[in-house]
């Protein structure tokens, strides 16, 4: 899938009161998907992390629409990651006057959307492409057109 990152729109949610590990579990499911697919996935996933991610995805698409005039139907989630934020520290009283520390994690979530580029029907393993690669590798005195590869490069196939 080819994505045009020059017209990328992003949104960042900071200090979300959630573990970045739990958020990444959801972000891994939507990265690289189209906007519509990502919406469907987030709507039906049973995780609490889906709510802020869904809100952030809609914000990123709104940024793309408003700031760059992009069509939401052609957008793809090009980047989606969660970084750790500062943890909140709380104390729980324990026996004999002690106090245990409770760490409440926060995270910063970033989602970027970009339009998907049109694909051509030609694949990288096109016959002409393979022929050009072998012509560039072969010595000048060999003409590989119509010749089997093992005859064109005998040193590679020679038994030692």
Q: What is the CATH number of the domain that holds 78?
A: 3.90.470.10
> What is the structure's pLDDT at 126?
54
> What is the structure's pLDDT at 127?
54
Instruction: Clarify whether residues 44 and 110 are in a common domain.
Output: yes
Decide if 70 is inside a domain. yes
Instruction: Clarify whether residues 87 and 148 are in a common domain.
Output: no
- DSSP characters for 22-75? HHHHHHHHHTTSBHHHHHHHHHH---TTHHHHHHHHHHHHHHHHHHH---GGGE
> What is the structure's pLDDT at 93?
97
End-to-end CA distance of the chain: 42
Instruction: Clarify whether residues 11 and 39 are in a common domain.
Output: yes
Residues of the chain with pLDDT below 50 are: none
> What is the structure's pLDDT at 91?
97
pLDDT single digits (tens) 82-96? 999 999 999 999 999
Query: Do strands 99-104 and 88-93 pair parallel, antiparallel, or not at all (unpaired)?
Result: antiparallel
> What is the structure's pLDDT at 160?
54
> What is the structure's pLDDT at 138?
58
- 0.75 cut: is pTM over it? no
Q: Which domain holds residue 106?
A: 5-115
In the 8-state DSSP scheme, what is residue 42? H
Residue 44's Cα: distance from chain center in Å? 20
pLDDT single digits (tens) 94-111? 999 999 999 999 999 999
């Amino acid at each position: 899938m080819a994505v045009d990152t020059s017209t990328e729109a992003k949104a960042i949610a900071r200090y979300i009161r959630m573990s970045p590990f739990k958020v990444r579990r959801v972000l891994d499911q939507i990265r690289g998907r189209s906007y519509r697919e990502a919406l469907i996935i987030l709507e039906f996933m049973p995780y609490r992390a889906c709510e802020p991610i869904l809100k952030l995805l809609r914000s990123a698409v709104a940024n793309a629409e408003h700031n760059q005039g992009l069509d939401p139907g052609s957008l793809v989630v090009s980047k989606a990651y969660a970084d750790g934020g500062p943890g909140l520290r709380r104390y729980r009283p324990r026996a004999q006057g002690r106090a245990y520390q409770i760490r409440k994690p926060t995270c910063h979530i970033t989602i970027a959307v970009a339009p998907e580029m049109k694909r051509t029907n030609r694949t990288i393993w096109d016959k002409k492409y393979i022929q050009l690669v072998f012509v560039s590798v072969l010595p000048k005195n060999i003409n590989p057109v119509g010749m089997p590869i093992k005859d064109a490069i005998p040193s590679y196939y020679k038994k030692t």
